Structure 1
Amino acid sequence: MTPITTTAELAAFCEKLKGQPFVAVDTEFMRETTYWPKLCLIQAAAPSAEAVIDPLADGIDLEPFLEILRDERIEKVFHAARQDVEIFNNLSAMPRPLFDTQIAGMAAGFGEQIAYDALVRQMLKIEIDKSSRFTDWARRPLTDAQLTYALADVTHLAALYPMLRQRLEKAGRIAWVTEEMQAMADPALYDVEPENAWKRLKPRRHAAKYLSVFRAVAAWRERTAQTRDQPRGRILKDEAIDELATQAPTDADGLNRLRSVPKGFSGSKFGPELLEAIRAALKDPEAYAPVIERNHAPSSPAAGAVVELLKVLLKARAEDAGVASKLIATVSDLEKIANDDEADSAALHGWRREAFGEDALKLKRGELALVLDGARVRVVPVRRAQKA
């Protein structure tokens, strides 16, 4: 098998993709030792064309394929799309419209975060050859076996996509997946602006001093990781950001006393830069601290018990609908609902409210009961439970 290695070859292939209803896409990349993912291979398959594209080939310009990704007349199909979409977003080519077969599989009753090979096995009755799974995709040349393995990721994807979509349409759940895809294609999800890096983490306090240092340290780490092209964790671990925000050291001695900061960090070239970032944040903590909205009322004494009941209700409703419970609501959603009927929770909006949220509120109000029927939990109106 010969991959596409020139811009002319890529342009000719992309001409074949124009006018297609969809194109299945996958990537192979490396990022274990870098901040920015290194794109090593692109695989694409439409109903009448398929190819492996080599982004590392000398002089190749990916723009013809990026234009296909931007073409909103062609649906882009991925499996577990998050990292692939991040790569293309970095190349200013957010794939729209987007269809993620992992999320679609969750909505179609294949379980939570179903793996690609499992979905292919169940839908196409094909076992995927995994012999090239641990290939170093940055090495050249790639063997025919490696290229064939890579291409199979999209040829099978192109085959199962119409089947999966038809299944969802029959169940009336295409809108569920469309809503999820709109969220996944939101550029804010892939924001790499250093000043927003704190949003990926979980601040444990709300005091202005803590939050200002938390934001400053997260921004410093993000900026340093980007500049040096190293993983965030190699610069500073997540837990160190919380300790730095809690202790707010302003000199080398204070930095050296922290358990989560590597020994000798203050004497490295990173130490003075980090301390300067902290001191700058502390000049006006109120102004620099991010505003964190509290999404629900303070936890009530009974909230823990309510959350446990909501977990049972969620499991029952997910089984009734034949859909993965994680797609409907998370534990965080349940905690918010337990404390506040008007909580800003995805489970109280759109199709999730219909599938679960409305019943969750009724359960809280005592209008529904959970009844054990053998090994299965049934959800019944309270009046029916009383008559029984």
Structure 2
Amino acid sequence: MPLISNTQDLAAFCDRLKGETFITVDTEFMREKTYWPVLCLIQVGGTEEARCIDPLAPGIDLAPLYDLMADESILKVFHAARQDLEIFLHESGKLPKPLFDTQVAAMVCGFGDSAGYETLVTKLTKARIDKSMRFTDWSRRPLNDKQVKYALGDVTHLRIVYESLAAMLAQSGRESWLAQEMDILTTPSSYIVEPEEAWLRIKARSRSSKFLGMLRELAAWRERTAQERDLPRNRIIRDEGLLEIAASAPTTPEALSQLRSVSKGMADGSMGQGIIAAVKTAQSLSDRELPQPPKKDDLPQGLGPVVDLLRVLLKMKCEQEGVAQKLVANMSDLELIAADDNAQVAALEGWRRELFGADALRLKHGNLAIALTEDGLGLRMIPLGE
């Protein structure tokens, strides 16, 4: 059975892969009950062989694998890599480089906004994926032959998917487009949640700086506690609970225990002490130290139709060029472009500007028109006097 469960076999396998130009990689993990994902299985495929690696095997040292992931002479191919990369960064302190994400490449090549692995395998390899093990518990041991065979399929089919997409990118001249996206994926800060910024993920109705200061301190306390205890944020306390505490600002266990979201046991224990300390910290902040509400300006009157036109242009350009709209711009980007020629959005930078952003500004300023084609079945752009 192609399952590696000791350091010696792992080192030998990694040595055999050192001459590869690319390897395919996938992971299986669990994180329903933890803050950090629990790595349960790693699949790696080369030209001649693919193996599953058991990170839960007693005494196994994954250093040879992490060294392989850090070898920049070998391209690492993933599908929907973000969660896999988060695991490698947490476990080894480094991100695999260089990187090729077939999901992002598929969006660049016109396979839709979030091309699934199964869809790509079916279209590009004509193979069918066995779905029977999709919801298996990868943390349970021992793994059986069927589980291992299923897991290996994630990296064996991926070789053909990669080769097909790489050829499409080369033919279209869009390799640099993907490279820009991979630069973002391989930036460590993309995966690090700073406790002091955790409040930005919580939907708060109040725009009061004092309330937001309270929420910031409470969310930072929860984030640090979740990390230290390796528990999901909601197992510490839910967002609704943080909002309730921020609104009432209790400074004693008695006051804290009166809230619906806090049990008396929590209020009287170490968790309650942490909450109260966060409340008192927030209360001591000066006005200058308080966070400012995130900017959410209403769209200026009259720009609604401009946004609608930009949306039509985006759809037209993406369909013509075979690129997923999601990868180019979203509705918020279109609103910002409609309001400001120098909006800080990705759609006005790099390849996105070439594909859409420059024409979006031309349309906005009356230097470009959109009309029906002569057969009335499509749209075309008409340059106007510039």
Under a length normalisation based on structure 2, what TM-score does the superposition of the two structures give? 0.91
* Equivalent residue number for residue 131 of structure 2: 130
Task: State yes or no: 1:360 paired with 2:368.
Answer: no
* Equivalent residue number for residue 120 of structure 1: 121
In the alignment, structure 2 segments of 5+ residues that lack a partner are: none
* Equivalent residue number for residue 195 of structure 2: 194
Aligned-pair identity (%)? 50
Q: Quick one: structure 1 residues 265 and 205, their matched pair in 2 at CA, closer, same or farther if it must change by over 3 Å?
A: farther
Aligned counterparts of 2:204 and 2:242: Cα–Cα separation in 1? 9
Q: Quick one: structure 1 residues 254 and 355, their matched pair in 2 at CA, closer, same or farther if it must change by over 3 Å?
A: farther
The residue identity in structure 2 corresponding to 1:321 is E
Number of equivalences: 382
Deviations 1:299-356 (A, max 9, x none): 3112333222221111111101111000001122112112211111011000001111
Aligned counterparts of 1:302 and 1:240: Cα–Cα separation in 2? 40
Deviation at 1:243?
5.1
Deviations 1:261-318 (A, max 9, x none): 3565863533332122021122014354346775x97631123332222211111111
Q: Is the 8 A contact 2:212 2:293 kept in 1?
A: no
Aligned counterparts of 2:264 and 2:377: Cα–Cα separation in 1? 58
Deviation at 1:158?
1.5
Q: Quick one: structure 1 residues 169 and 289, their matched pair in 2 at CA, closer, same or farther if it must change by over 3 Å?
A: farther
Deviations 1:160-204 (A, max 9, x none): 211111111111111111111110111111114423323444666
Task: State yes or no: 1:106 paired with 2:107.
Answer: yes
* Equivalent residue number for residue 377 of structure 1: 379
* Equivalent residue number for residue 310 of structure 1: 310
Q: How does 1:261-300 map to 2 (within 5 A)?
A: 261=261, 267=267, 269=269, 270-286=271-287, 288-290=289-291, 294=295, 299-300=299-300
Aligned counterparts of 2:366 and 2:265: Cα–Cα separation in 1? 56
Q: Is the 8 A contact 1:67 1:93 kept in 2?
A: no
Between 1:75-84 and 1:236-245, the stretch displaced more is: 236-245
In the alignment, structure 1 segments of 5+ residues that lack a partner are: none
* Equivalent residue number for residue 213 of structure 1: 214
RMSD: 2.4
Aligned counterparts of 2:292 and 2:96: Cα–Cα separation in 1? 31
Q: Quick one: structure 1 residues 201 and 353, their matched pair in 2 at CA, closer, same or farther if it must change by over 3 Å?
A: farther
Q: Is the 8 A contact 1:215 1:289 kept in 2?
A: no
Between 1:317-326 and 1:332-341, the stretch displaced more is: 332-341
Deviations 1:51-95 (A, max 9, x none): 100000000000100011111111111001110000001021311
* Equivalent residue number for residue 8 of structure 1: 8
SS at match of 2:3: coil
Between 1:220-229 and 1:341-350, the stretch displaced more is: 220-229
Q: Quick one: structure 1 residues 321 and 292, their matched pair in 2 at CA, closer, same or farther if it must change by over 3 Å?
A: farther
SS at match of 2:56: coil
SS at match of 1:137: coil
Q: Is the 8 A contact 1:51 1:151 kept in 2?
A: yes
* Equivalent residue number for residue 177 of structure 1: 178
Q: Is the 8 A contact 1:281 1:288 kept in 2?
A: no
Q: Is the 8 A contact 2:124 2:160 kept in 1?
A: no
Q: Is the 8 A contact 1:316 1:379 kept in 2?
A: no
Aligned counterparts of 1:333 and 1:248: Cα–Cα separation in 2? 36
* Equivalent residue number for residue 223 of structure 1: 224
The residue identity in structure 1 corresponding to 2:272 is G
Under a length normalisation based on structure 1, what TM-score does the superposition of the two structures give? 0.91
Aligned counterparts of 1:140 and 1:200: Cα–Cα separation in 2? 36
Q: Quick one: structure 1 residues 328 and 34, their matched pair in 2 at CA, closer, same or farther if it must change by over 3 Å?
A: same
Q: How does 1:48-87 map to 2 (within 5 A)?
A: 48-87=48-87
